[in-house]
Amino acid sequence: MWRCCLLSGLAAWLAAVSPASAFIAYVSNEKSNTVSVIDTNSWTVTKTIKVGQRPRGIEFTRDGKFVFVAVGDDDSIQVIDVAKQEVVDTLPSGPDPELFALDADGKILYVANENDNTVTIIDVEKRARLGEIQVGVEPEGMAISPDGSILINTSETTNMAHFIDTKTRQIVANVLVDARPRFAEFKRDNSEVWVSSEIGGTISVIDPIKREVTKKITFEIPGLRSEAIQPVGIGMTKDGKTAFVALGPANRVAVVDATSHKVIKYLLVGQRVWHMAFTPDEKYLMVTNGVSNDVSVIDVAAQKVIKTIQVGELPWGITIAQP
Amino acid sequence: MIRWLVAAIGFCIAATPVLAADPIEIGIGYLGRTGVKPKLSLVELPAENDGLAGARLAIEDNNTTGKFLNQHFTLEAVRLKDNEDVAKAAAALAERTGFIIADLPADDLLKAANTLRDRGTLLLNAGAIDDRLREQDCRANVIHVAPTRSMLADALAQYLVWKQWKRWLFVVGSHDQDKLYADALRRAATRFGAKIVQERTFEDTGGARRTDSGVTLIQRQIPVFTQQAPAYDVLVAADESEVFASYLPYRTWDPRPVAGSAGLIPTSWHAAQDQWGAIQIQNRFTKLNSRHMTALDMQAWTAARMIGEAASRTKSGDPKAVSEFLKGPDFSIAAFKGRRLTLRDWNLQLRQPILLVDGRMVVSVSPQEGFLHQVSELDTLGADRPETKCKLQ
């Protein structure tokens, strides 16, 4: 009996410490002007890469060979070679790029330029600007629908989610959401798109077909004034059943039942939690904590924070390579 | 011209049927007095269009949003000369606009509010910081975007107490508004546990603010004026009239920091504010006006944005619908202060964090950590609901 317990305990311990496979996460540090590279096997920073001024939006290319990072104060997007772990090229974005979205083929990049109310379209291979779309004041959040036909851009002072037809590059609908919308995320089956409103304190659930808000998710945390609850990053599991919402200075990530839209629980993470990325096997979710300069690792199935990793100053964005 | 026409035609074709209709026109008035307030520091002399420039930027922002909602905003500015009657001007402006952003002294604002009371025109006070306008003299047709003296004083006091600079040498100017600010600072000291170890009055004996040989004299006067003080941590000055406070830093008898009307100053906005996305609005403002954005600019921007926000939520430019939305529970506005701003329903004052600036940098933002409140931490700044003397009517 005793031996049996010991053995099963040992098995559980082994399962906990040895992830199925190792992945690489890239974290942009807004204040340090660096990108931290994290190995998800050892949960340690293996390299810190110098980049341009004020790195924020960050994403792997589809082939996993490069990482794009928006360096807002240098008015460009830098390209990091993953093999060399250094900046090798620059894309011509518009002024002050913050967040961007890659299309499904990884050939076209849509960039939100906060400073001049535009979305810039970039041909990744040719390194050329294909055009611009005029949107609302302070464009920020970017998301592409699963079928690639619609690009969502959120504008922070106009308080809208703009629906842009990716073929005609025209705005086809504008959906009013709560104040300072910062991030948009589609469900993989295109049944819903979620938009977080940082100052409004809500998530607007939008029907992408009807293009209207069907539900608003609100958050209540005992002991916290509602003004401190500021939703930013959203992570949705592939099956569309569970969502994670970073609540900024509330220092928590909300776990939301994405079917019923009810909040299941709040996970205490670091200070001012911004953005997040799943490991490809969806076992872990990594979130950036802006003020406490670290990354929290969440065990997705257990819905628990299992680890904290120190990175650079004011970590903001995070991306993990798909295998 | 031809290019413009082609673009316009192209727009009409591309636009949806709803957009093809004439947009809803929403006129906003801006009523202020001409003349520039005196300042001791040449770099702080306000521009002619101080305030108005902020409202203009908000009109642009509103119109960027408005083009998606078929709303169009315009601004009409009226600047009163010294002896011009404010009531008459307000009534004339209200013929054309349902909303008036006011940058007026307290008495003028009350006159305008009383004149427009039965018209349904909404006034947004962007300039006057007098507490009485939100207390015994409050009006149901005036929303206050500018913070009050007591909000500014509380914001400063919270920081000084957090910093453990609790012993204040208090220097007050001899003009009425200096005394009002002094009252607010005294109240703040009592509220948050600071102690005024001694109070001195700086008499305004007249004289020019700018002279060819000024500094030599000031350098002799200020140390003498501040000597023989009891032990203190910080000199707090109340000098809204800009007579002496800016002369205090680096010249006090004891080496002590200065706060209040000089040194560390509480304000609703500053050109150095860059947190919470503020760099965006600073850039937009500078691009449009080729100068820095002031507190008055920000207060006017916020006022015009509040109308824009309410118009987009209610899909209406009707002053009644907009007023009701602004005064209702669903209103909040984002104004680059890190949290949503809402209205105190008992006196229509906009809740807002207050910046503490040293002239070049934002040193801190109040409310400070640890000053708690059961409703909103922002209500630790200024008169709270239980203390209010306001009866809205």
Q: Is A97 on the interface with B (CB under 8 A)?
A: no
pLDDT in tens, B175-217: 999 999 999 999 999 999 999 999 999 998 877 776 666 677 8
Cβ within 8 Å, pair B61-A137 = yes
ipTM: 0.81
CA of A184 vs chain B CAs: smallest distance (Å) = 18
Query: What mean pLDDT is predicted for residues B298-311?
Result: 98
pLDDT in tens, B370-381: 998 988 999 999
CA of A300 vs chain B CAs: smallest distance (Å) = 30
Q: Which residues of A touch B64 (CB under 8 A)?
A: 117, 136-137, 158
DSSP per-residue codes, B228-274: SPPS-SEEEEE-TT-SSGGG-TTTSSS---EEESSSBEEES--TT--
Predicted confidence band of residue B13 (pLDDT cuts 50, 70, 90): very low
Tell me the two tokens of residue B22.
């004439």
CA of A69 vs chain B CAs: smallest distance (Å) = 19
Q: Is A171 on the interface with B (CB under 8 A)?
A: yes
**Residue B35 pLDDT exceeds 70:** yes
Q: Is A157 on the interface with B (CB under 8 A)?
A: yes
Q: How many residues does this entry show for chain B?
A: 393
- Specify the amino acid at residue B367: P
- Burial label for A17, CB within 10 Å (0-12, 13-18, 19+), is exposed
pLDDT of residue B391: 94
Largest pairwise CA distance in chain B: 78
Query: What mean pLDDT is predicted for residues B163-186?
Result: 97
Predicted confidence band of residue B338 (pLDDT cuts 50, 70, 90): very high
The alpha carbon torsion through B229, B232, B238, B243 (nearest 10 deg) reads 50
pLDDT in tens, A212-233: 999 999 999 998 888 899 999 9
Share of chain B above pLDDT 70, in %: 93
Cβ within 8 Å, pair B332-A200 = yes
Question: For the sheet containing B71-80, what is the strand order?
Answer: B71-80, B24-33, B99-103, B122-125, B142-144, B349-350, B343-344
Q: Which residues of B touch A138 (CB under 8 A)?
A: 277, 280
Q: Which residues of A touch B377 (CB under 8 A)?
A: 225, 227
CB A287 within 8 A of CB A298: yes
pLDDT of residue A217: 98
Q: Is A170 on the interface with B (CB under 8 A)?
A: yes
Alpha carbon distance B20, B268 (integer Å): 40
pLDDT in tens, A98-120: 899 999 899 999 999 887 899 99
Query: What mean pLDDT is predicted for residues A276-285?
Result: 96
